[in-house]
Amino acid sequence: METKRIYIKDAEHVRDEELLEAAEIIRRGGLVAFPTETVYGLGGNALDEDAAKKIYAAKGRPSDNPLIAHVSCPEEVEPLVEYMPEAGKKLMEAFWPGPLTMIFPKSSRVPYGTTGGLETVAVRMPSDPVANRLIALAGVPIAAPSANTSGRPSPTTADHVWQDMNGRIDMIIDGGPVGIGVESTIVDVSGQVPVVLRPGAITMEMLRETLGEVTIDPAILGPMAEGVRPKAPGMKYKHYAPKAELTLVEPAMEDKKASMTQEQVEHMVSMVWKLAKEQIDAGVRVGIICTDESRAAYPEGIVRSIGARKSQESVAHNLYGVLREFDDLKAEVIFSESFGEDHLGQAIMNRLSKAAGYKIVRV
């Protein structure tokens, strides 16, 4: 299949004419990758089981891993859900459009092909103007997982999508690099107490402020114990993996939800350098993931900054791009600094820990 790539002139003020062909492709059952504020999505008609099959095939993704249905306005949710829980209403008002996905009891209109056989459906209303307008013009909810090959880091630029999807889908809409860089927060509002299934830019702190009681799926916090099933099926797969073996280096912290002290950071940096240097001296191609602040502490190795430690937003924004870059650089092992788990830090550490297959050295 030939993949057409189109370029949006001004992604903040996209014109309908630029998206009409893409909307038509979605309507007739084809696949279009498009930018959102979190990561690029791989879209197909969420009400068309055959489109869902094509999405799984293009990604090489197991079909028991359900897809998120993207809508362009709150009114489009009603036909997809059995009923609207109170917590769902509150979260929609507070955080939509934006990087928040909610799990609802599904209506009969949503095919099991989209929900991986589940009785619930994941729904999100993106704020990105290209994504939002594309959904509205298609006139159907758009099922869209991240537009990467299953197991690779999620795409944050159209080039990343091109690397993984060229020849496999009908169109890629290039709207420039995304803003946030990690996938949406997922909250299950289908039960008694809302549960966070995946951390993202809508943080635990923000959710608690709106809802009061919110719990977190244990699968987020560490490697899964034998026999425990995560509530988001996608969380069970090894995700976001770079090709090299990645080790996270973490300072001993009493409260991981706090930000790190200067002393903890300095100790961690010196340990990352010690571990990296041992391997460099043994002739290994070593990658180091550092921050703008610590760069000068690493005189050798393939050193890349993931952003500024003082700006969690910059770290989230660069995270997947840096992991992909290391694949191209053919690093054999990578050592990475870690981050405190306050605010956006929880999403950052969730993605880094999974990329490392939970190989974490505490120093």
Report the residue number, 198 or 304, with the smaller CB distance to ligand TXA.
198
Report the residue number, 52 or 260, with the smaller CB distance to ligand TXA.
52
- Cβ atoms < 10 Å from Cβ of 247: 18
Residue number with the shortest CB distance to ligand TXA?
Answer: 234
d(CA 279, CA 282) in angstroms, rounded, equals 5
353 touching Mg ion, by CB under 5 A:
no
Q: Are 74 and 159 in contact (CB under 8 A)?
A: no
115 touching ligand TXA, by CB under 6 A:
yes
User: Could you tell which of ligand TXA, Mg ion, none binds residue 149, using a CB distance below 5 to 8 A set by kind?
Assistant: none
- The least CB distance from residue 260 to ligand TXA, in Å, is 27
Site size for ligand TXA, by CB under 6 A? Answer: 28
Residue 188: beta bridge partners? 103, 195
87 touching ligand TXA, by CB under 6 A:
no
124 touching ligand TXA, by CB under 6 A:
yes
Order of strands across the sheet that contains 360-362:
302-305, 286-290, 333-337, 245-250, 360-362
Q: Are 172 and 162 in contact (CB under 8 A)?
A: yes
115 touching Mg ion, by CB under 5 A:
no
Report the residue number, 146 or 318, with the smaller CB distance to Mg ion.
146
**Nearest by Cα to 194 from 181, 183, 209, 180:** 209
Binding window for ligand TXA (CB under 6 A); candidates: 23-31, 119-127, 241-249, 342-350: 119-127
Q: With the C-alpha atoms ordered 322, 182, 175, 113, is the resulting torsion angle positive or negative?
A: positive
Provide the mask over 218-237, with x wherever binding to ligand TXA is found by CB under 6 A and - wherever it is not: -------------xxxxx--
Report the residue number, 51 or 121, with the smaller CB distance to ligand TXA.
121
Distances 274 to 68, 260, 271 between C-alpha atoms, Å: 43, 20, 5
User: Could you tell which of Mg ion, ligand TXA, none binds residue 101, using a CB distance below 5 to 8 A set by kind?
Assistant: ligand TXA
Provide the mask over 176-215, with x wherever binding to ligand TXA is found by CB under 6 A and - wherever it is not: -------xx-x----------x------------------
**Nearest by Cα to 345 from 277, 263, 231, 265:** 265
- The least CB distance from residue 253 to ligand TXA, in Å, is 27
d(CA 116, CA 265) in angstroms, rounded, equals 42
**Nearest by Cα to 301 from 315, 281, 321:** 281
Residues 143-162 that bind Mg ion (CB under 5 A): 146
d(CA 103, CA 123) in angstroms, rounded, equals 6
Q: Roughly what angle, to the nearest 10 degrees, separates helices 312-329 and 345-355?
A: 20
Report the residue number, 214 or 272, with the smaller CB distance to ligand TXA.
214
Contact residues for ligand TXA, defined by CB under 6 A = 36, 38-39, 41, 65-68, 101, 103, 115, 118, 120-122, 124, 144-146, 183-184, 186, 197, 231-235
Contact residues for Mg ion, defined by CB under 5 A = 146
